[in-house]
Amino acid sequence: MPTAKIWVDADACPVAVKEILFRAAERTQVETTLVANHFMQVPRSAVIKFIKVASGFDVADHVIVQQAQPGDLVVTQDIPLAAEVIEKGAEALHPRGEPYSPDTIRQRLNMRDFMETMRASGVQTGGPPPLGQSEKQAFANALDRWLAKARR
């Protein structure tokens, strides 16, 4: 069985989350690939990779969906991307540490669509609060759980 990998939707991934991922990749030697449509500095490492894709709507998402395999982990805030990789058998994790699951992804897609409709009608919905220490810890804990499971 091939070794599970980590894929990162890196365009909107917080720096603190990338740093957690870099440390975990080095510690566990799990291949971690960041995908973005603009250049991004990553540490020199045999296990940390970067793929720069062309600019365009969902180009990075499409690359991640094509590459992710069952058992891989995808780190993303993008709910439709999470839904697609879950459908392929990969796992998905929000940078705030919330795992996406087959049981909850439909509800999350519906809420996202509802909020998009609200914004389109002029309602100011605001963005998420800044990433705090508890969210960073939640992400690190969820990542550690996935890594422990992936090693089995």
Mean residue pLDDT of the chain comes to 89
What confidence score (pLDDT) does residue 57 get?
82
Q: Domain segments of the chain: what residues?
A: 6-151
Examine the pLDDT at 1 and tell me if it is beyond 50.
no
What pLDDT band is residue 115 in, cutting at 50, 70 and 90?
A: low
Which segment of 13-17, 72-76, 136-140, 148-152 scores lowest on mean pLDDT?
Answer: 148-152
What confidence score (pLDDT) does residue 124 get?
73
**Segment 70-113, tens digit of pLDDT:** 999 999 999 899 999 999 999 999 999 999 988 887 777 667 66
Q: What is the 3-state secondary structure (H, E, C) of the chain?
A: CCCCCEEEEHHHCCHHHHHHHHHHHHHHCCCEEEEECCCCCCCCCCCEEEEECCCCCCHHHHHHHHHCCCCCEEECCCHHHHHHHHHCCCEEECCCCCEECCCCHHHHHHHHHHHHHHHHCCCCCCCCCCCCHHHHHHHHHHHHHHHHHHHC
Q: Which two tokens stand for residue 22?
A: 């870099």
Q: Are 28 and 4 within 8 A, CB to CB?
A: no
Instruction: Point out which residues pair with 34 in neighbouring strands.
Output: 8, 50
What pLDDT band is residue 58 in, cutting at 50, 70 and 90?
A: confident
**Segment 30-55, tens digit of pLDDT:** 999 999 999 999 999 999 999 999 98
Under CATH, which number does the domain 6-151 receive? Answer: 3.40.50
| pTM recorded for the entire structure | 0.86
